[in-house]
Amino acid sequence: MKKLKHPNLIRLYELFQVSSKLYFTLEWGGHGDLLQYIRLRGALKETESRKYFREMCFGVEYMHQLGVVHRDLKCENLLLSKKNTIKIADFGFAREIGANETSKTYCGSAAYAAPELLQGIPYTGTIADIWSLGVILYIMSCSSMPFRDANIKTLLKDQKDKLHIPSSVVATLNSSLKELMKKIMCFDLHKRFMMREIKAHAWFHKHGSDDQPADNNDNDTHEVAAETSGTKS
């Protein structure tokens, strides 16, 4: 994690061990996590969800370019800085991977997991991360989960079916946004959007948004210490 330095990733400032415990000094996400934010405000306006989604994509793309996959992207692991910039956090399941390497380890939360991961099929970590981004985009836009996650069978059935948009927001969501969510959360892996296709999509660039990551000077000045007595596999 120390090598990851990007304005949309939580910074690790220091790591040290005392006895059997590891201590981390991390950048502070001053405005809490994205799930809390959505629960407070409900479905976000399209301009706001686009801003946050773009920042997530910039951060995830940077990680993937360095050969690192997160494997636990979810709203609770996306923090907001004091300037409301997305900061990807919690790298407990993250790992380095080779260019064509697949993983068999089940990681993260089922509600955000790609179909191949739920089915126990060896999966590409970068593709699984992108599926999770699609789930997060849906939650920001609809203020609800895209799939029922009471059990894996039901979850997989919902993933195979046509993506359901809640009646409370269906009339207000842009058709381009609906299309993008469907393309990212496409059950067929070979038809699913990858990062280059997401970034080329019309909704991603709507209103001529600047195609640059957040300002490097947006780091919160506070630091927070965390501890753990073990590491995730």
CATH number, domain of 127, equals 1.10.510.10
Farthest-apart Cα atoms in the chain, separation: 57
**Is 216 part of any domain?**
no
Tell me which DSSP letter residue 105 carries.
Answer: -
pLDDT for residue 225 = 45
Tokens of 40: 């407070």
Residues 38 and 36: their CA atoms lie apart, in Å, by: 6
How many domains is the chain partitioned into structurally?
1
Residue 93 lies in a domain: yes
Domain of residue 205 covers: 32-210
CA dihedral 70, 18, 221, 11 (to 10 degrees): -20
Examine the pLDDT at 17 and tell me if it is beyond 90. no
Give the residue-averaged pLDDT of 107-120.
94
pLDDT of residue 218: 61
Domain membership of residue 177 (yes or no) is: yes
Question: What percent of the chain has a predicted confidence (pLDDT) above 70?
Answer: 88
Asked, for residue 16, whether it belongs to a domain, the answer is: no
Q: Would you place residue 219 in the very low, low, confident or very high pLDDT band (cuts 50, 70, 90)?
A: low
Q: Has residue 201 got a pLDDT over 60?
A: yes
* Confidence category of residue 2, pLDDT binned at 50, 70, 90: low
**What average pLDDT is seen over the chain?**
88
Q: Contact 220/30 with Cβ under 8 angstroms? A: yes
In a domain, 116, yes or no: yes
pLDDT greater than 80 at residue 67: yes
Q: Is the pLDDT of residue 108 over 60?
A: yes
Question: In the prediction, which pLDDT does 231 show?
Answer: 42
Residue 232 has pLDDT above 60, yes or no: no
Residue with tokens 């502070």: 28
pTM, two decimal places: 0.87
Task: Specify which residues 15 forms β-bridges with.
Answer: 24
User: What is the rounded distance in angstroms from the CA atom of residue 149 to the CA atom of residue 195?
Assistant: 26
Q: Is residue 221 part of a domain?
A: no
3-state secondary structure of 13: strand
Residues noted as catalytic:
72
In-domain check, residue 6: no
Question: 203 to each of 23, 47, 180, how far by Cα in Å?
Answer: 41, 10, 7
Mean pLDDT of 157-178: 96
**Which of 22-31, 33-42, 95-104, 129-138 has the least mean pLDDT?**
22-31
Does residue 9 sit within a domain? Answer: no
Alpha carbons within 13 A on the beta-carbon side of 54: 22
